Chain A
Amino acid sequence: MFNLLQIELYKISKRPRTYIAFAAITAIVVIFQLAFKADGKSYMDLMLQSVQDSFDIDKSKAINGYFMCYIILNTLLIQVPILVALIAGDAISGEANMGTLRLLLTKPVSRTKLILVKFAASVIYTIMLLVWMAVMALFLSLLIFGADDMLIFRVKGDESLILQITSDDIMWRYFAAFGYAAVALTVIAALAMLLSVFAENSIGPIIATVCIVIVCTVVSNINVPIIDKHVKPWLFTSYLVGWKGFFYIGTTADGEPIKGSLENWPAIRNSLYILAAHILVLLGSTVVIFRRKDILS
């Protein structure tokens, strides 16, 4: 099994498209960093609009490495599913397209094992993307902008909030958030992989995955009560942004943040369960379908 995984990872590492994702992340992050280095205050002004009338805020302190990472992840984690789909959507269909699938499947390796290994390789790739993101968006930002307390601008229901997390209470939240993001993106990988089984070229499953994510995300963001209540809980995209839950710090009755706390851990945990259930169902279906599939490519 480990041998097989090694082979899969080797194949992924040798493909140019693998590095497109890393390059894309690097580009996005660097553009963000340059923009904020040049004119981060304007962004802060926008976010703090009405608050500035009543408070003096040291904006240059507020634009720090931790804050940058949050802002970058906020944007980037919406795009990363595309990058994950790029690899996972290609896992089976790419081999079918290249003609290697039929050869691969005449080898003494069971199809279940093959799917599991390919899935594991996609997950490892996803984790590598996140590690790279952490290096670029978090550690490089910390290097450029320094560390300080972090402000979280949050919309909760119809209320806007500013949360402040002290600098010594942030790092673990990022580790947890990246961990959560890994689980969330694994759902995308599993979805892309399932679609990959049906296709004989990788464009189809990649585009299909991205379309599903976009449609579900748009539906998730239609703020109509009937959708909020009856549709949203059933869309996996509603849980993709759950990593933010690690930055919603718990507060005392009079609004003071409690260091090391989370406002709503059960909600995060439930989201994780739901995502895990998605992974199991998608991966299980992939295995069942692939085992029965006649290879005609």
Chain B
Amino acid sequence: MNPVVEVNNLSKKFKEIDAVTDLSFTVYDGDIYGFLGQNGAGKSTTIRMLLSLIKPDNGSISIFGKGLTENRNAIMKQTGAIIERPDMYKYLSAYDNLSIFAKLSGVKGSRKLIMEKLDQVGLADRSNSKVKTFSQGMKQRLGIAIALVHEPGLIILDEPTNGLDPQGIADMRNMIIGLSRNMGKTIIVSSHLLSEIELMANRMIIMHKGKKMVEGKVAELLDPSNSMVQLETTDDRATFKALSNTAWAAKATLTDKHIQIRLGKNEIPALAESLHSMDAKILAIRPRHSLEDYFISLTNEQTDV
């Protein structure tokens, strides 16, 4: 598996607000990589940093093995995106819109090619209609045509199902899966719905308040036998440091309130033993039933605030 996107220690502040803090993750060739998080979790900021719309304060992004800052144009030639709503020039026709963005992406955009691409998203018969007459779903399809017209290897979709009806959501999902399976594209897709990510993505990251909570294969993360344990000790920071030298390191994350560890229920005694051996004063070990519970708990936490 070749890494397509490698992000290391990425941080971004807007004034005093930490939008993204010390974020690292890797997306591999052929992945459908799900970005899950509540509104304000930092998904959009991260995606915009990947697309060079926002400049990171710290950290590095490399795509297709090249640094984004130095090779922006070369990378963007191979990247397609829909960012939030699929907005385009409303006063222009579907044909004009696609033709313009094809040219901007460095594709010649012959009439034949443009019509072919419009046909693929079922808009060939509306090619001369102005976009302002389009429904949300039609705009979404045109947005996809624009994102794909230059045959990019990496496709980044920020909340692509926002504002779509259930049928539109299903179509979008099927298309994303098709692009990955049939055409071998690498796709990053963000959503605030776990169910959606679960249905499309093979790997995922959960973000909360600008930080990575968990990252891994969707199948493993959502395995019912796997559970999330919230661990509270008298000194979480010291405990986390001690844990990082053990086999638990890969599974543990430090948050503001506790340490969370992803593990099977049957592993809890072993964890307790390890903690005891490193002289950690345990205040609580709280198992959560599944990733879904965990994600919901994050949601509640946010709504509580």
Contact = CB atoms under 8 A, between A and B. Distances in A.
Interface in B64-115: 72-74, 76-77, 79, 81, 83-85, 87-92, 96, 100-101, 103-106
Given A103-B146, A105-B53, A16 B91 contact: yes
Contacts of B77: 108
A98 B91 CA distance: 10
Interface residues of B, number: 31
Contacts, number: 76
A100 B48 CA distance: 14
B83 A100 contact: no
Nearest to B55: A294
28 contacts: A3-B103, A7-B100, A7-B104, A10-B96, A11-B100, A14-B91, A15-B91, A16-B91, A98-B87, A99-B88, A100-B87, A100-B88, A103-B81, A103-B88, A103-B101, A103-B146, A104-B104, A106-B76, A106-B79, A107-B104, A107-B105, A108-B72, A108-B76, A108-B106, A292-B55, A294-B14, A295-B48, A296-B48
B104 A102 contact: no
Given A99-B84, A103-B146, A105-B52, 8 more contacts: A7-B103, A15-B91, A16-B91, A98-B88, A103-B87, A106-B51, A106-B76, A294-B55
A14 B83 contact: no
Interface centre among A102, A107, A296 (most CB of B within 10 A): A107
A292 B52 CA distance: 11
Interface in A1-29: 3-4, 7, 10-11, 14-16
Interface of B: 14, 48, 51-55, 72-74, 76-77, 79, 81, 83-85, 87-92, 96, 100-101, 103-106, 146
Contacts of A110: 72-73
Contacts of B87: 98-100, 102-103
Contacts of B106: 108
A296 B48 CA distance: 8
A109 interface: yes
B113 to A, nearest CB: 16
A100 B131 CA distance: 13
Contacts of A15: 91
A42 B52 CA distance: 63
